[in-house]
């Protein structure tokens, strides 16, 4: 242990500059390793921390190989939390260069900051003076200190503009970031003295901080004070419900296809990570003026454990809740979200909700009236379900979906049918749905985009102009209309 401390101390001195430090380090290692060669061309192994493996060459150059970095720019060993391990194939060379100047781009890349970040006055100079170990893997503590110095995690960094909505525990404001001058949404959650932070807020933070996707709303910052927990999200102009209203409930069918694909793309990313949204509805799908659709409000979301465990059936807004959940099932997985996708697909295509029930009994009645009252042949085990028996529904025959969706082509109706299956295990998965013939006209390249790249990065993907769109609803004039931010009753 004493030997390692001496080596680390000498390595620290070496990095701070001076060839004498290199010599002292080499002498230290040589004196403690019997039989070690001190030839200038021989690499000498150096022990270190932070998942770092390297060598010291007699020329005074330090070469680090196989640096394991976490997805947030921290070393895996330092943070011990990263699940997306990256092995760098490139050797990072640190030369003795006391006069090296660190740029804004260096800091943005190092701390995973937005490209348009505006660093505080004098911060670059301070960083250059006090950060000689800039090229080493960052520990979690040092990263937090650096972010705090820039302005993250501080209420004064954000300016409140308008109130967007208010719920039981939270108020949402439209705001502006002083760091980027961009609009943000500030979700201010009141902390009760006895109860602390609502569980929905804890879920939302814990899930969103690890979900990085073009079709999932971005959580920019978290501000914790004694009285509140503020979540800072990217700001989007409106939700799908408001978009429908602004279009006179008649969205261009090409745009319906683009919105549905983006919804499936975001869900597929979640489902690959065993995350269930559990509260899909138009109010929780945000849209910007470019046409990018993003999943929001993960207050009811859960990470699905393996093996299967039971969950609450008090999830998903009634109109978008699948029949198995309505009948009391608590054993479900990612398929719980796919029924809601079908309901939203229908609503975008027709301009009206598919099953607008006011009670569980009425909701099931609407479902059975369209899809037919289930039997043992169409839903094995249903006739032994106590709740189903107690409602004593009439025996409806299934109606043709074509009769209710005149604007959908055959491929669209087939996809809708695959989404609206009684049994969860029979519903089409998000990944399979993305490859359905209905999306064939969008081309193959849209299926191979990196997770964080928008589909509108492809030249062939363009949002069509909505003929009935109200002229003042989008941000064309630089102004945005107020809307209700997606907010759970519990959050």
Question: Which of the residues are catalytic?
Answer: 279
- Residue 257 assigned as binding residue: no
CA geometry: angle at 171 spanning 170 and 174, to 5°? Answer: 140
Strand partners of residue 176? 159, 183
Angle formed by the axes of helices 335-350 and 253-272, to 10°?
170
Strand partners of residue 174? 162, 185
**Three state DSSP letters for the chain:** CHHHHHHHHHHHHHHCCCHHHHHHHHHHHHHHCCCCCCCCCCCEEECCCCCCEEEECCCCCEEEECCEECCCCEEHHHHCCCCCCEECCCCEEECCCCCCCCCHHHHHHHHCCCCCCCCCCCHHHHHHHHCCCCCCCECHHHHHHHHHHHCCCCHHHEEEEEEEEECCCEEEEEEEECCCCCEEEEEEEECECCCECCHHHHHHHHHHCCCCCCCECCEEEEEECCCEEEEEEECCCEEHHHHHHHCCCCCCHHHHHHHHHHHHHHHHHHHHCCEECCCCCHHHEEECCCCCEEECCCCCCEECCCCCCCCCCCCCCHHHCCHHHHCCCCCCCCHHHHHHHHHHHHHHHHCCCCCCCCCHHHHHHHHHHHHCCCCCCCCCCHHHCHHHHHHCCCCCCCCCHHHCCCCCCHHHHHHHHHHCCCCHHHCCCHHHHHCCHHHHHHCCHHHCCCCCCCHHHCCCCCCCCCCCCCCCCCHHHCCCCCCCCCCCCCC
Backbone angles phi, psi at 307, to 5 degrees: -70, 175
Binding residue numbers for ATP: 187
Binding residue numbers: 187
């Amino acid at each position: 242990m004493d030997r390692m401390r001496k080596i680390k101390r000498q390595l620290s001195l070496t990095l701070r500059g001076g060839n004498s430090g290199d010599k002292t380090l080499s002498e230290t290692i040589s004196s403690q390793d019997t039989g070690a060669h001190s030839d200038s061309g021989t690499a000498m192994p150096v022990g270190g921390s932070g998942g770092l493996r390297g060598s010291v060459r007699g020329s005074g150059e330090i070469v680090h190989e196989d640096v394991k970095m976490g997805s947030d720019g921290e070393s895996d060993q330092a943070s011990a939390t990263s699940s997306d391990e990256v092995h760098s194939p490139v050797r990072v060379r640190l030369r003795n260069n006391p006069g090296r100047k660190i740029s804004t781009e260096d800091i943005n890349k190092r701390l995973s900051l937005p490209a348009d970040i505006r660093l505080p006055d004098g911060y670059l100079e301070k960083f250059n003076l006090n950060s000689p170990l800039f090229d080493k893997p960052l520990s979690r503590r040092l990263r937090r200190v650096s972010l705090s110095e820039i302005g993250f995690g501080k209420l004064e960094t954000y300016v409140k503009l308008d109130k967007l909505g208010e719920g039981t525990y939270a108020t949402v404001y439209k705001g502006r970031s002083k760091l980027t001058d961009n609009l943000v949404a500030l979700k201010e959650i009141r902390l009760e003295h006895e109860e602390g932070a609502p569980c929905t807020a804890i879920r939302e933070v814990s899930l969103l901080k690890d979900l990085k996707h073009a079709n999932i709303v971005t959580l920019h910052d978290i501000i914790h004070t004694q009285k509140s927990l503020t979540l800072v999200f990217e700001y989007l102009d409106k939700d799908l419900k408001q978009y429908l209203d602004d279009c006179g409930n008649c969205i261009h069918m090409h745009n319906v296809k683009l919105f549905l694909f983006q919804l499936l793309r975001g869900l597929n990313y979640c489902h690959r990570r065993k995350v269930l949204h559990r509260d899909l509805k138009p109010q929780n799908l945000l849209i910007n003026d470019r046409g990018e659709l993003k999943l929001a409000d993960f207050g009811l979301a859960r990470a699905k454990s393996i093996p299967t465990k039971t969950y609450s059936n008090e999830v998903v807004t009634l109109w978008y809740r699948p029949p198995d959940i309505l009948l009391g099932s608590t054993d479900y997985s990612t398929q719980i979200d796919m029924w809601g996708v079908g309901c939203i697909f229908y609503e975008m295509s027709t301009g009206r909700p598919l099953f607008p029930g006011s009670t569980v009994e009425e909701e099931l009645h609407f479902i059975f009236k369209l899809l037919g009252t289930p039997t043992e042949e169409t839903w094995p085990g249903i006739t032994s379900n106590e709740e189903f028996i107690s409602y004593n529904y009439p025996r409806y025959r299934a109606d043709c979906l074509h009769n209710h969706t005149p604007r959908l082509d055959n491929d669209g109706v087939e996809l809708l049918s695959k989404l609206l299956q009684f049994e969860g295990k029979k519903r089409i998965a998000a990944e399979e749905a993305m490859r359905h013939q209905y999306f064939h006209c969008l081309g193959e390249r849209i299926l191979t985009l990196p997770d964080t790249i928008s589909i509108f990065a492809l030249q062939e993907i363009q949002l069509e102009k909505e003929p009935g769109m109200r002229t003042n609803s989008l941000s064309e004039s630089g102004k945005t209309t107020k809307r209700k931010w997606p907010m759970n009753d519990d959050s």
